[in-house]
């Protein structure tokens, strides 16, 4: 009988959940995440301030000419040329978006729905190449079309990914031939 009494005495009810402590932890976690997001946003704005000397982006000419090539895909951002991690955020160049590229004799027209469009005059184009990454985006080798262009006193690399990656080689060849032809005519002057 005493053994039954001991068994009955040892049984306790389960502890009640402390909801105040749980809610406190969740609120603390939410505040921590909000702080991290705010610091990231402030860093982005500070980077834009440091790059405030970047001139306004050129707009598309009224008559750009007949298209040589067109491409639909994604714009992954722009960096300082040769420094694939130094993202440029000023003038909206840091905003990733869909893109419609059109290459004409006048230059490269970059139309970005939901972001600022810009135009790179043909004389400002410097190089086109296939690469594997640009600030915040790494792909397989040759998965990214990178166009180097001059803007103000800076050389900028802009990264694009076509919806049809097989188009990249045509873009590199056509852009580099166009750049070589422009360099030859400028050298003849």
Are 143 and 176 contained in the same domain?
yes
Backbone φ/ψ region at 163: left (φ over 0), alpha (ψ -120 to 50), beta: alpha
pLDDT beyond 70 at 80: yes
Question: What percent of the chain clears pLDDT 90, i.e. is strictly above it?
Answer: 41
pLDDT beyond 90 at 28: yes
Higher per-residue confidence, 55 vs 142: 55
Q: Which of 64-68, 101-105, 150-154 has the highest mean pLDDT?
A: 101-105
Residue 153's pLDDT is what?
A: 86
Are 27 and 84 contained in the same domain?
no
Question: What backbone phi and psi angles, to 5 degrees, belong to 7?
Answer: -65, -40
Residue 50's pLDDT is what?
A: 81
Higher per-residue confidence, 12 vs 129: 129
Are 182 and 114 contained in the same domain?
yes
- Taken as a whole, the chain contains a residue count of 189
Residue 189's pLDDT is what?
A: 43
With 0-12 / 13-18 / 19 or more C-beta atoms within 10 angstroms meaning exposed / middle / buried, residue 154 is middle
Count: domains in the chain: 2
Are 96 and 46 contained in the same domain?
no
The 3-state DSSP composition of the chain as helix, strand, coil percent (nearest 5) reads 40, 30, 30
- Position 131 in a domain: yes
Q: Which pair of tokens denotes residue 104?
A: 């004409």
Mean pLDDT, residues 51-72 = 85
What domain range is 36 assigned to? Answer: 18-50
H/E element, 97: strand 97-104
**CA proximity to 156, closest of 103, 59, 77, 52:** 77
Interatomic CA distance for residues 27 and 9, integer angstroms: 39
Q: Which pair of tokens denotes residue 12?
A: 């306790």
Q: How confident is the model at residue 2 (pLDDT cuts 50, 70, 90)?
A: low
Are 139 and 92 contained in the same domain?
yes
- The gap from C-alpha 172 to its chain's centroid, in whole angstroms, comes to 20
Mean pLDDT, residues 62-76 = 89
Are 96 and 183 contained in the same domain?
yes
pLDDT beyond 80 at 143: yes
Q: 116 with 95: CB under 8 angstroms?
A: yes
């Amino acid at each position: 009988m005493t053994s039954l009494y001991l068994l009955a005495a040892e049984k306790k009810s389960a502890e009640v959940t402390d909801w105040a402590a749980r809610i406190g932890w969740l609120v603390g976690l939410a505040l921590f995440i909000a702080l991290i997001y705010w610091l990231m946003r402030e860093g982005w704005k500070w980077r834009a301030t440091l790059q405030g000397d970047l001139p306004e982006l050129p707009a598309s000419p009224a008559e750009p000419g007949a298209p040589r090539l067109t491409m639909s895909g994604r714009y992954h951002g722009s960096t300082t040329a040769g420094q694939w991690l130094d993202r440029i955020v000023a003038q909206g160049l840091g905003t990733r978006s869909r893109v419609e590229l059109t290459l004409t004799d006048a230059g490269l027209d970059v139309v970005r729905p939901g972001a600022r469009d810009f135009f790179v005059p043909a004389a400002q184009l410097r190089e086109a190449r296939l690469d594997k990454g640009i600030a915040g985006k790494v792909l397989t080798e040759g998965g990214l079309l990178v166009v180097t262009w001059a803007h103000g006193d800076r050389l900028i690399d802009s990264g694009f990914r076509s919806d049809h990656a097989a188009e990249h080689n045509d873009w590199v060849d056509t852009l580099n031939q166009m750049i070589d032809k422009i360099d030859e005519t400028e050298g003849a002057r």
